[in-house]
Structure 1
Amino acid sequence: MRFAEAVERIERATSFGELGGDGEATYRAYAKAVHPDAVSDDRTAIATHAFATLSRLYHQRNQRVITGDIADLAAGENGTLTKVPRSPADNDLMEAEADALKILRDKGDPQYRPYAPKLIETYLHEDAERKRRRINVQERLVGFVPLTAVAKKRDPRDTAWIWRRLLVGLGWAHRAGVIHGAVLEEHVLIHPEQHGLALVDWCYSGASVKAIVARQRDAYPPEVLNEKTASPATDIHMATSLMVRLSEDLPKPLRRFADGCLYDAPRMRPQDAWRLLHELDETLHNLYGPRKFRPFTI
């Protein structure tokens, strides 16, 4: 294989499989062609970069984590998660996610940053067919699982911490000027042992709705489906609906609290997640007394 051809293929590939195989023989063939020790001095810099890219692709070949709504995610050895859209038509959604995470990093209160993954890098990649994709590289959240992993409904006392942390994370985002837009089971990660929570997949963020998760259509409030708009009240509606789905037999005070967040008209719902958190805390205290740590297992 010629040097120039090998470099071009490596630089365009988003996965090791695109190089024509997924085994060691393929790796050795490309490594032989682009190894810095095997080229002239004027090609050393190009070869070094290509060889590093080849090594990264090879080590990530069996580390696919999950297939998301619009993208495939693969874990890197350095604690990263690389998100690659399956279709270039979804580049705008990937850009929306990158923009949202940048705003949260730059304008959000730093003490709440664990409520969203850290954006490490975002760039355009052109594949062998000259299709360009927006790729987002994020921090991987170790020990976290999506709420889809919760197999059955739980006692409201066991889910109260998730409800509270959802409102904290949403309030933080809203104060920074970011709307999540898709507060669904698959987009809410929890750390069961530490009672941690993070909101992921910010591709649907923004006041103007570009897309929805079609299979979860029934989970969206009317303004999203009818007017293609979203606001903090949208996130509050979706978070409340999610917690109702997760919790078993809500006591009447919690049911009334939830109902007040689920009106069809956004203007009739609470608009401030942090203020709503205080109301939730009062409701929980009146029902169960002082907060106590309750172990949560999947």
Structure 2
Amino acid sequence: MRFAEAVERIERARSFAELGDSYRELAKAVHPDAVSQAETAAATRAFATLSRLYRERNRRVIEGDIADLVADGGTLTKIPRSPADSDLMEAEARALTTLRDKGDPKYRYYAPRLRDSYLHEDRERKRRRVNAIERLDGFVPLSEVNRRIDPRDAAWVWRRLLVGLGWAHRAGVIHGAVLEEHVLIHPEKHGLALVDWCYSGPRAKAIVARRRDAYAPEVLTTKTVTPATDIYMATGLMTRIAQDLPRPLKRFADGCLYDAPRMRPQDAWRLLHELDETLHNLYGPRQFRPFQL
């Protein structure tokens, strides 16, 4: 393989897989010890890129709503597919930073940690905001729960969801997209974390189009987002995943799903106390129920 052709193929590749079976041939063609003095600088750059692609060959890439998530060890690196969505990455970084600085540390595990946020410029000089976020081991999104669950199992998810939202709201952060894929649970430990904070803020900059019907009415009309919006979406989520809600829980849910935001509960933690009373009247004192996917 000619030197110029090898350099071009390496520079075009976005992943090791795109190089096919030609790694050894490419490495031989651009090795700095095997080229002329005039080609040394270009060879050094190409060989470094080839080495990086080789190191990253086993990293898992997950396709998110607006970004590709590269799983590498304990970190998820979120890279927006469109540079125009960098403002959403900035919103996520701002939200996670606020939760870290202003949120009660006792509830910190309800959201992942932001490890880094930076601008990346690609070969076409397009800039993207990239977020490196803590990877939560053992957690799975509710979108992967492929069955309706017993209301008693839904109860602990509902409770923890209200705790997490109340924590965020007290810190001045609204999630804005409480959907199945953005709520992670740890089935064994009954843990919960809210992810994908790029839709946070007082006004909706974007929505997940395929989930349009799950949004509160005000998001689709005035683009206004308040704590009542999160409560509406969290309640709708719980009614979708729970099987045959008992009538008291159905009445509880209906009181959170009014079209007008001012008619809904505004305080997630106060609402949690009402939920606890409803659950106690239904099922008695709380008991730990093992949960398996």
User: TM-score if structure 1 supplies the norm length?
Assistant: 0.85
Distance of aligned partners of 1:27 and 1:60 in 2 relative to their CA distance in 1, 3 Å threshold: farther
Letter of the aligned partner of 1:173 in structure 2? A
1:160 corresponding residue in structure 2: 155
Task: Report the Cα distance in structure 2 between the residues aligned to 1:278 and 1:113, rounded to whole angstroms.
Answer: 21
1:30 to partner: Cα distance: 9.7
Task: Report the Cα distance in structure 1 between the residues aligned to 2:30 and 2:283, rounded to whole angstroms.
Answer: 63
1:63 to partner: Cα distance: 2.0
1:102 to partner: Cα distance: 0.6
1:74 corresponding residue in structure 2: 70
Contact 2:202 2:225 (C-alpha < 8 Å) held by counterparts: yes
Any idea what SS the aligned residue of 2:230 has? helix
Q: Which whole-Å deviations, capped at 9, do the CAs of 1:84-136 have from their partners, x for residues lacking one?
A: 11110111111111111110111111111111111000111111111111110
Contact 2:216 2:232 (C-alpha < 8 Å) held by counterparts: yes
Correspondence list, 1:60-209, <5 A: 60-77=56-73, 79-209=74-204
Distance of aligned partners of 1:29 and 1:108 in 2 relative to their CA distance in 1, 3 Å threshold: farther
Letter of the aligned partner of 2:99 in structure 1? L
Task: Report the Cα distance in structure 1 between the residues aligned to 2:238 and 2:115, rounded to whole angstroms.
Answer: 31
Distance of aligned partners of 1:186 and 1:27 in 2 relative to their CA distance in 1, 3 Å threshold: farther
- Structure 1 stretches of 5 or more lacking a match? 35-42
Task: Report the Cα distance in structure 1 between the residues aligned to 2:128 and 2:26, rounded to whole angstroms.
Answer: 24
2:19 corresponding residue in structure 1: 21
Any idea what SS the aligned residue of 1:190 has? strand
How many residue pairs end up in the alignment? 278
Contact 1:161 1:195 (C-alpha < 8 Å) held by counterparts: yes
Measured on the aligned residues, the alpha-carbon RMSD in Å equals 2.6
1:62 to partner: Cα distance: 3.0
Letter of the aligned partner of 1:290 in structure 2? P
Within the alignment, does 1:261 sit opposite 2:259 as a pair?
A: no
Task: Report the Cα distance in structure 2 between the residues aligned to 1:30 and 1:195, rounded to whole angstroms.
Answer: 54
Distance of aligned partners of 1:235 and 1:138 in 2 relative to their CA distance in 1, 3 Å threshold: same
User: Which residue among 54, 58, 76 is the counterpart of 1:58?
Assistant: 54
Identity over aligned pairs, percent: 70
- Structure 2 stretches of 5 or more lacking a match? 34-40
Task: Report the Cα distance in structure 2 between the residues aligned to 1:200 and 1:297, rounded to whole angstroms.
Answer: 21
Task: Report the Cα distance in structure 1 between the residues aligned to 2:29 and 2:187, rounded to whole angstroms.
Answer: 43
Task: Report the Cα distance in structure 1 between the residues aligned to 2:178 and 2:114, rounded to whole angstroms.
Answer: 19
Contact 2:60 2:72 (C-alpha < 8 Å) held by counterparts: no
Distance of aligned partners of 1:61 and 1:236 in 2 relative to their CA distance in 1, 3 Å threshold: same
Letter of the aligned partner of 1:129 in structure 2? E
Contact 1:60 1:75 (C-alpha < 8 Å) held by counterparts: no
- Most deviating of 112-121 and 22-31: 22-31
Task: Report the Cα distance in structure 2 between the residues aligned to 1:27 and 1:114, rounded to whole angstroms.
Answer: 45
Q: Which whole-Å deviations, capped at 9, do the CAs of 1:34-75 have from their partners, x for residues lacking one?
A: 9xxxxxxxx9xxx89x95x87555333332242000001111
Task: Report the Cα distance in structure 1 between the residues aligned to 2:80 and 2:238, rounded to whole angstroms.
Answer: 29
Task: Report the Cα distance in structure 2 between the residues aligned to 1:175 and 1:26, rounded to whole angstroms.
Answer: 58
1:33 to partner: Cα distance: 4.5
Task: Report the Cα distance in structure 2 between the residues aligned to 1:31 and 1:180, rounded to whole angstroms.
Answer: 48
Contact 1:31 1:54 (C-alpha < 8 Å) held by counterparts: no
